[in-house]
Amino acid sequence: MQPNHQPAAVEAILSNGWIQQVRWFAEIDSTNAEARRSGLGTPLPALYVADRQTAGRGRLQRSWWSPEGCLMLTLAIGEESLPRDAAQWGELALVSGLAVANTLSRFVANGDVQLKWPNDVYLGQRKIAGILIEATPKIWLVGIGLNVAMRWDLAPEEVSSRATCIQRASGSAPERSVVLVELLEELQLALAAWRTGDGTWRQAWRDRCFLTGRIARIRLTERELVTGKCEGIDDQGRLIVRDEQGVHFLTAGEVIEWQ
């Protein structure tokens, strides 16, 4: 049986003073769903962590493979943690992604960790973490799934062939609770800087941009696609894509192919 590092991690997280409440589940449907159910009345920022999820949710109504070995959490924050200018709120996924990438770079080769616009963290050509942002009245949910040490023989084929984890990439498996504590430190710093208008995160994000210089096909809506050369993100966090028609600034979309 694995030693249980959870109580020490919870104590470390609460003693830092930023997170006001931690709820850690051996199993739950989805930490994002639980954070939604808890809603207002929970002291914020609140943290929801699960060892396993039975209905883990990904972006675009997809499911998220959620076995033990994946660090799965939702950070619930209030509007007071966001920049005053609501026009910037759409950057939350990018800022959170950068915090995840910076955390990962302590466990795997730093230069290999990249950010695939808008919400994915990649290691080489494989996804290692994903972020699901959900907004509810007055509360923002930052759901993060970060693959630490998975049983790949149990993974669905489409996950196994496209994803990786810290252990697969580096050969060693840190405790998820250790990764969690470091991730929260990164998130706290990143969100505080972002809220006060510090825009230095953008250059750090650009330095890790997976798509810059690549030709990519991006689905904007069910019928609308753009294919062109990616030139990184602009100051509003939009993906810049150049094709024969000119330059497109994409606020949302799904990158479905790249080379």
Instruction: List residues near ligand BTN by CB under 6 A.
Output: 30-32, 53, 56-59, 62, 64, 72-74, 119-120, 130-132, 143-145
Our CB check for ligand BTN shows the closer of 51 and 120 to be 120
CB of residue 97 vs ligand BTN: minimum separation in angstroms?
10
CB of residue 119 vs ligand BTN: minimum separation in angstroms?
6
Residue 70 contacts residue 151 (beta carbons within 8 Å) = no
Amino acid residing at 168: R
Residue 45 contacts residue 76 (beta carbons within 8 Å) = yes
Closest CA to 240 of 117, 115, 124, 60: 117
Our CB check for ligand BTN shows the closer of 134 and 231 to be 134
CB of residue 198 vs ligand BTN: minimum separation in angstroms?
26
Our CB check for ligand BTN shows the closer of 60 and 86 to be 60
Cβ-proximal residue to ligand BTN, closest one = 130
Our CB check for ligand BTN shows the closer of 67 and 78 to be 67
| Secondary structure, 3-state, the chain | CCCCCHHHHHHHHHHCCCCCEEEEEEEECCHHHHHHHHCCCCCCCEEEEEEEECCCECHHHCECCCCCCEEEEEEEEEHHHCCCCHHHHHHHHHHHHHHHHHHHCCCCCHHHEEEECCCEEEECCEEEEEEEEEEECCEEEEEEEEECCCCHHHCCHHHHCCECCHHHHHCCCCCHHHHHHHHHHHHHHHHHHHHCCCCHHHHHHHHCECCCCCEEEEECCCCCEEEEEEEEECCCCCEEEEECCEEEEECCCEEEEEC
Our CB check for ligand BTN shows the closer of 64 and 107 to be 64
CB of residue 153 vs ligand BTN: minimum separation in angstroms?
21
CB of residue 31 vs ligand BTN: minimum separation in angstroms?
4
CB of residue 206 vs ligand BTN: minimum separation in angstroms?
21
Our CB check for ligand BTN shows the closer of 52 and 195 to be 52
Our CB check for ligand BTN shows the closer of 49 and 108 to be 49
CB of residue 115 vs ligand BTN: minimum separation in angstroms?
12
